[in-house]
């Protein structure tokens, strides 16, 4: 209901601003007021829709004056750009630029001042009286920190279990923050009666790094990772605070859950328009080099869209393995176990063109260039997918949720492998040869085949498209036959395999999954 009130107030601001500049336009008020009313309705509709999409009315998230000023300026600059494009594209010359642009400027000024006044009432400055209050020898953290943890040793450092009162406070806070179902999920993997749990609700790694070392076995965060600016840094901080075998529990709203929520929230028709705009802003922009900086400057990483594959891929890259997952309240809750130090991947495969480490001649790793067909960080999930789904026909993983919808289409028409022509030109690969493999796939092959494979450069067109094998054993037999023939007649073998593969791909619709 509050959001509708903010929208009504904003509409009133637009009307007041328009009337103000119409009054300043001398000698034309009798013409402007009757002839502008229809255009004013469309202008107001554009204003409100863009404001809703960019979150200008989300005052619950406002914590400072900056949270008012920056979103208002970004949003209204977007409105100015859209209106300008419409005016000059459709040559709408009979409207007064003075009134149109003046209305936007005055409305922005009034909005910001009203927002600052509202924020002052919503978040009055108070002296934090809880900062120095102690509970059983432990400093109480103010609500903004949201640390809900009962630290080790309520009565002393030697104590290993919490008393009933402390345990009750913890469970009540978890229920209040996330609900009964989340509490049950947590207790399936972590004993909350033990004093070595850090239970926290935060989106900054500072609140993790600020904790003492060697004190916690489990870290339980009740905030979504969607709102964390530097997700990997946060997970790396958690990794540094728990021992091997320690558990990290958190949650994420995956992009499929987000899509379901948006389509359900708005009326049919409008919901798909909102989802399309949300997809462009939240999913496309963060992956484009120029727009990525704009996106993170505006949003500061808050409420980002993240897939299940990217969520788990980031966790695996940071040294964790998934032990439990469950969908609760439109979020994917996960419990992961620390098994190794983080990989510290500073160049993740995030853009439309990606590089993947593959085994080449001599067993050396080189970068293979491809168009993205999977979600970011998917390369870290090969072992997880293999254990969960095993291999399907053709040697690919079955039910591979890492592949995007566009990626499946690109694979069907072979478009994803076009950038590998650059590898051929560089000399890392040749036109025909065994497929370049990742470490996980490479280790699935027999030792004999591994030794024979690395004697030669991998190829863009593999023997797979000649024999069309279905199982891993058949794939290895196919590659072994190719290598046998290649060692005897290299040029003729590659020529024959190329034309057979070309025929299968073009006329028999042979495709990679």
Statement to judge: residues 203 and 312 lie in one domain:
yes
Statement to judge: residues 459 and 359 lie in one domain:
yes
Statement to judge: residues 361 and 493 lie in one domain:
yes
Tokens 């009133």 — which residue?
12
The answer to whether position 389 is within a domain reads yes
Q: Judge whether residue 158 has pLDDT over 50.
A: no
The answer to whether position 513 is within a domain reads no
Q: Judge whether residue 93 has pLDDT over 80.
A: no
What is the rounded CA–CA span in Å between residue 382 and residue 402?
A: 10
Length of the chain as a residue count? 513
Give the pLDDT confidence of 163-221 residue by residue, as tens digits: 888 899 999 999 999 999 999 999 999 999 998 999 999 999 999 999 998 899 999 99
The answer to whether position 428 is within a domain reads yes
The answer to whether position 135 is within a domain reads no
The pLDDT of residue 134 is 33
The answer to whether position 469 is within a domain reads yes
The pLDDT of residue 101 is 82
Q: Which long-range contacts (CB under 8 A, 24 or more apart) does 106-114 make?
A: 106/17, 106/20, 106/21, 107/13, 107/14, 107/17, 107/47, 107/76, 108/72, 108/73, 108/76, 110/13, 110/16, 110/17, 111/10, 111/13, 111/72, 111/76, 112/68, 112/69, 112/72, 112/73, 114/9, 114/13
What is the rounded CA–CA span in Å between residue 458 and residue 366?
A: 11
The answer to whether position 134 is within a domain reads no
* Helices and strands: H and E segment counts in the chain: 20, 11
Q: How far apart are the first and last CA of the chain?
A: 48
Statement to judge: residues 110 and 16 lie in one domain:
yes
Strands 138-139 and 218-224, bridge-based pairing: unpaired
Statement to judge: residues 370 and 448 lie in one domain:
yes
The answer to whether position 132 is within a domain reads no
Statement to judge: residues 316 and 375 lie in one domain:
no
The pLDDT of residue 337 is 96
> By residue range, what is the domain housing residue 271?
257-299
Please identify, among 122, 157, 179, the residue that sits at the C-terminal boundary of a domain: 122
Lowest average pLDDT, out of 10-19, 148-157, 268-277, 329-338, goes to 148-157
The answer to whether position 347 is within a domain reads no
Q: Hey, what are 364's tokens?
A: 């050396």
Q: What separation in angstroms does the CA of 218 have from each of 143, 148, 199, 242?
A: 21, 13, 8, 7
CATH number at residue 165: 3.40.50
Cβ(339)–Cβ(319) below 8 Å: yes
Residue 330's Cα: distance from chain center in Å? 16
What is the rounded CA–CA span in Å between residue 40 and residue 459?
A: 62
Q: Judge whether residue 159 has pLDDT over 70.
A: no
Statement to judge: residues 206 and 312 lie in one domain:
yes
Q: Which residue in 241, 242, 245, 208 sits closest to 223, CA to CA?
A: 208
Statement to judge: residues 106 and 161 lie in one domain:
no
Please identify, among 68, 92, 122, the residue that sits at the C-terminal boundary of a domain: 122
What is the rounded CA–CA span in Å between residue 482 and residue 493?
A: 8
Q: Is 260 exposed, middle or buried (0-12, 13-18, 19+ CB in 10 A)?
A: middle
Statement to judge: residues 486 and 390 lie in one domain:
yes
Provide CB contacts within 8 A for 267, sequence distance 6+. Answer: none
What is the rounded CA–CA span in Å between residue 66 and residue 83?
A: 25
Q: Which residue in 200, 205, 231 sits closest to 306, CA to CA?
A: 231
The domain tally of the chain equals 4
Please identify, among 87, 122, 157, the residue that sits at the C-terminal boundary of a domain: 122
Greater model confidence, 121 or 246:
246
Give the pLDDT confidence of 104-139 residue by residue, as tens digits: 888 888 888 787 777 655 554 333 333 333 333 333
Give the pLDDT confidence of 400-416 residue by residue, as tens digits: 788 888 888 888 777 88
Statement to judge: residues 179 and 55 lie in one domain:
no
Lowest average pLDDT, out of 142-151, 207-216, 411-420, 454-463, goes to 142-151
Statement to judge: residues 201 and 229 lie in one domain:
yes
The pLDDT of residue 133 is 32
- Percentage of the chain modeled with pLDDT above 70: 81
**The pTM of the whole model exceeds 0.75:** no
Mean pLDDT of the chain: 82
Statement to judge: residues 293 and 220 lie in one domain:
no
What's the pLDDT band for 315 if we cut at 50, 70, 90? very high
- DSSP letter at 445 equals S
The pLDDT of residue 458 is 95
Q: Which residue in 396, 250, 249, 226 sits closest to 300, CA to CA?
A: 226
Q: What is the mean pLDDT of residues 91-98?
A: 66
* DSSP string of 262-299, one letter each residue: HHHHS-TTHHHHHHHHHHIIIIIGGGSHHHHHHHHHHH
> What is the dihedral sign for C-alpha 448, 449, 451, 456?
positive
Provide CB contacts within 8 A for 293, sequence distance 6+. Answer: none
Cβ(407)–Cβ(374) below 8 Å: yes
Give the pLDDT confidence of 415-430 residue by residue, as tens digits: 888 889 999 999 999 9
């Amino acid at each position: 209901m509050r959001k509708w009130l903010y929208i009504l107030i904003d509409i009133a601001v637009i009307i007041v601003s328009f009337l103000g500049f119409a009054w300043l336009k001398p000698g034309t008020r009798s013409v402007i007021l009757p002839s502008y009313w229809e255009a004013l309705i469309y202008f107001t509709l554009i204003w409100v829709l863009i404001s809703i999409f960019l979150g200008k009315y989300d005052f619950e998230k406002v914590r400072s004056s900056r949270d008012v000023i920056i979103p208002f300026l970004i949003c209204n600059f977007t409105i100015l750009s859209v209106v300008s494009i419409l005016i000059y594209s459709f040559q709408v010359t009979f409207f007064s630029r003075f009134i149109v642009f003046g209305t936007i400027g005055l409305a922005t000024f009034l909005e910001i001042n009203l927002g600052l006044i509202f924020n002052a009432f919503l978040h009055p400055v108070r002296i934090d009286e809880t900062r120095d209050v102690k509970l059983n020898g432990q400093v109480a953290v103010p609500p903004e920190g949201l640390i809900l943890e009962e630290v080790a040793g309520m009565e002393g450092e030697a104590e290993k279990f919490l008393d009933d009162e402390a345990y009750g406070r913890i469970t009540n806070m978890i229920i209040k923050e996330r609900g009964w179902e989340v509490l049950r999920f947590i207790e399936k993997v972590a004993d909350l009666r033990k004093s070595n749990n850090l239970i926290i609700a935060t989106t900054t790694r500072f609140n993790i790094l600020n904790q003492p070392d060697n004190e916690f076995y489990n870290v339980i965060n009740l905030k979504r990772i969607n709102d964390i600016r530097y997700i990997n840094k946060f997970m790396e901080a958690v990794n540094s605070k728990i021992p091997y075998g320690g558990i990290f529990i958190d949650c994420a709203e995956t992009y499929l859950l987000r899509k379901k929520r948006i389509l359900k929230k708005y009326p049919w028709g409008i919901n798909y328009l909102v989802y399309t705009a949300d997809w462009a802003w939240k999913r496309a922009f963060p992956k484009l080099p120029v727009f990525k900086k704009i996106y993170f400057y505006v949003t500061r990483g808050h409420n980002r869209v993240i897939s299940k594959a990217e969520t788990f891929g980031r966790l695996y890259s940071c040294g964790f393995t998934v032990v439990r997952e469950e969908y609760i309240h439109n979020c994917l809750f996960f419990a992961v176990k620390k098994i190794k130090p983080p990989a510290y991947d500073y160049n993740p495969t995030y853009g439309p063109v990606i590089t993947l480490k593959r085994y080449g001649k001599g067993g050396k790793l080189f970068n293979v260039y491809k168009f993205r067909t999977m979600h970011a960080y998917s390369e870290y999930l090969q072992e997880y997918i293999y254990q969960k789904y095993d291999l399907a026909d053709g040697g690919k993983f079955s039910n591979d949720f890492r592949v995007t919808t566009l990626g499946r289409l690109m694979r069907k028409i072979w478009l994803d492998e076009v950038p590998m022509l650059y590898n051929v030109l560089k000399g890392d690969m040749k036109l025909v040869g065994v497929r370049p493999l990742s470490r996980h796939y490479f280790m699935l092959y027999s030792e004999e085949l591994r030794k024979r494979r690395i004697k030669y450069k991998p190829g863009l067109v593999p023997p797979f498209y000649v024999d069309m094998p279905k199982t891993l054993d058949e794939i290895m037999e196919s590659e072994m036959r190719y290598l046998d023939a290649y060692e005897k007649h290299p040029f003729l073998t590659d020529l024959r395999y190329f034309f057979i593969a070309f025929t299968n791909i073009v006329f028999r619709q042979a495709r990679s999954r």
